[in-house]
Copies of this chain bind each other. A is one copy, B any other.
Amino acid sequence: MAWPSAIDLLGAAAGILTTASFIPQVVKTLRSGQTRDISLTMWVAFCTGVALWTLYGVMLEAWPIVAANVPTLGLAGTILVVKIRNRGRE
């Protein structure tokens, strides 16, 4: 197996950061239950877009795209669910 190139490592770091970045938002949202400053429109559009990225990766059999997007969808979806549950209350 070849060593990954510097560019591969850069892409991996980028993917890990953008996906893992949602973890502290999920923790904060689940702890506080507060979503007043979070845009419903953003999270509906974002989750739809991430679902389309996942489908795109599946259709291309591009598994890194799938692997990066499935956890993002789970994390962003959690925030969206809390936001939807809070509607009418904030």
Task: Report A's interface with B, CB cutoff 8 A.
Answer: 7, 10-11, 13-25, 27-29, 32, 34-39, 41-46, 48-50, 52-53, 55-56, 59-60
Contact = CB atoms under 8 A, between A and B. Distances in A.
9 contacts: A11-B53, A13-B52, A14-B52, A17-B46, A18-B53, A21-B49, A25-B42, A35-B37, A37-B37
B29 A37 contact: yes
Of residues A21, A29, A46, which shows the largest number of chain B Cβ atoms within 10 Å of its Cβ?
A: A21
Main secondary structure on A side of the interface with B: helix
B32 A45 contact: no
Given A14-B56, A52-B10, A60-B7, A21 B36 contact: no
B10 A24 contact: no
